A and B are shown apart, each in its own frame.
Chain A
C-alpha cells in the first residue's frame, strides 16, 4: 500500500532509489556505508546529493550507475529495476576519464561507436555535443592538449552524447580550481536549461549544489542516511552570479548547519580512530 503512495508523493520519478543499503567488509569488521536510502529524481529535475567525506556518496553513485551490484534494496529507472550499468543512466566520473589516445571527437563519439552507430552520424552527433559544452574548434585535439576543465567538459559531452535519461555525476569539478569550477557550473546550468537534462549530482560543495539544484539531499556521516531533502526555490535561469544573492546565502547557511553537524561528527570519529590505533599500538 505504501508503494503507490510513495510514487504519487514523488511525482512519478524517472529514477527511484528504494531502501538501498551497502555494507563493506573491512579489516576492522563490517562498515555500513549506505543505510536505507530512498529518494526519487523527477523528469527534468536537478537533484544534488551532498554529504561530508565518508558518507557513502560515491558508493551511492556506483550503486545507481550499476557498477556496484552488491547491495540491498533496489534502484529503478522508469520502473525498470537495474542490475548493472543501464543505458538510461550516463555517468560522469570525478577522475580524469578521457581517453588520451582519442581525439575530442572520437572521445565524445565513444558510446555511439559501442552501439554501432554509422561513422558520419556519430561524428555529427559528437560535433553537436562538443559545441554544447563550448569546445567547438577543438574537435581534432587530443586530451593532452587541453586543460583539466576542458577535459572534464569532454567527459561531460561524451556522456551526454549517449543521450541518457539521467545524467549521474560524481563530483565532476572536484579536481578543478575554484574559478574554473564556477564557470563550468555555469556551463552545466546552461546545458541543463537547454536540453532539460534530468541530473543527479553527487558533491560535497554546498555552493555548487545550491547554484545548480532544484532539490538537495543532505546525507549523514557514516552510516550514510538521508538527513533532509531541501527544496531550492531560486528562479531559473541561473548563473554563477546568483551566488551573491541573499536567498542563496540563506540556503547555503541552512545546508551548512545540517552538514556541519555531520562533518564534525565525521572528523571526531576519524580522530578517535587515530587515537584508538595509537592506543592499541603502544
Chain B
C-alpha cells in the first residue's frame, strides 16, 4: 500500500519504550513544576505571585464547575470565531485579488506590509467609538488583527502556484469562480492553512487584548478581573485553560493541513 512509508517510520520510532526526546520533554515540565512549587513555599515573593500548585488546581476545579466561566468562554470563542471568519475571508479575498494581479500588487501590497506589523491595539480607541464596549469591538479588533497575516500569506501563496496549472484551467475555459475554487485555493492549501493558523493566533491575541482593555464579558475580562482583585490562583487557572484550548485549536487547524499533505507528491 501507499502507506508503507508511514508504517515503517512508526515502527522504527516506537520499539516499546519512551524515546529520549519524550523523556527530555517530561523532565523539563517536571523541573518547571518543582521549581514553581519550591518558589511558592519559599516566601521570597510577595504573597500570591506564585501560588502553590494545589491552590491553582483547586481554582481550576472551581472554575470548571461554574457555569459563569463557560458562558464567558463561549462569548470569547464566538468573538474569535467571528473575527477569524470576517477578517479571514476578507484577507483571503484581498490576497487572491492581489496575488492574481501584478498591477494591484505593485500598487497596494506595500500598504499591507507597512500596516501588517503595526500593533492593531492602537486602533482600539477608534474601534470602541465605532462599535461600543460590547463584543462587537472585540470582533472588530480580532478581525483587523487576522486580516493582514492572511492577506499577505495568500498573496504570496498565489504567486507560488505552478503557472501551468493556471494555464490548464484557462485552456478548459474555467471561469473566475472556478479558477478560485478549483485551482487557486487547492493549489495553495499549504500557505493557506499556514495563513489561517497565523490568522487564528492573531485573532486570538487581538480579541483577548481588546477584552482585557475594556469590556464587560469574555475570558480576557475574567482574567483581568481576577488580576485586579488579586485572585492569582484563579487567574493562573484561567491562563492554563486558555493555553490548552489554543494549543488544541492550533493542532486542529494543523491536522486539517496534515491530512492533505499526505496526498501530495
Contact = CB atoms under 8 A, between A and B. Distances in A.
Interface of A: 65-67, 84-85, 87, 89-91, 93, 95-97, 99-102, 110-111, 113-114, 141-145, 162
Interface residues on B, range: 20 to 34
Contact of B189 (A67, A101, A114): A101
A101 B260 contact: yes
Interface stretch (B71-79, B119-127, B164-172): B164-172
Contacts of B263: 100-101, 142, 144
A93 B173 contact: no
A144 B186 contact: no
Contact of B165 (A87, A91, A99, A142): A99
B182 interface: yes
Interface string B248-265: 000000000000100111
A91 B166 CA distance: 13
Q: Which 5 pairs of residues, A with B, have the shortest CB-CB distance?
A: A144-B265, A95-B164, A91-B171, A111-B172, A97-B164
A221 to B, nearest CB: 25
Interface of B: 2, 162, 164-165, 167-168, 170-174, 178, 182-183, 186-187, 189, 260, 263-265
Majority SS at the chain A contact face = loop
Contacts of B260: 101
Contacts of A85: 170-173
Contacts of A111: 172
Contacts of A101: 186-187, 189, 260, 263-264
Contact of A97 (B165, B186, B264): B165
Contacts of B172: 85, 110-111, 114, 162
A87 B173 contact: yes
Contacts of A114: 172-174, 178, 182
A99 B186 contact: yes
B170 to A, nearest CB: 6
B164 A142 contact: no
B168 A145 contact: no
A95 B171 CA distance: 14
B173 A67 contact: no
A27 B189 CA distance: 37
B164 A96 contact: yes
Contacts of A145: 2, 265
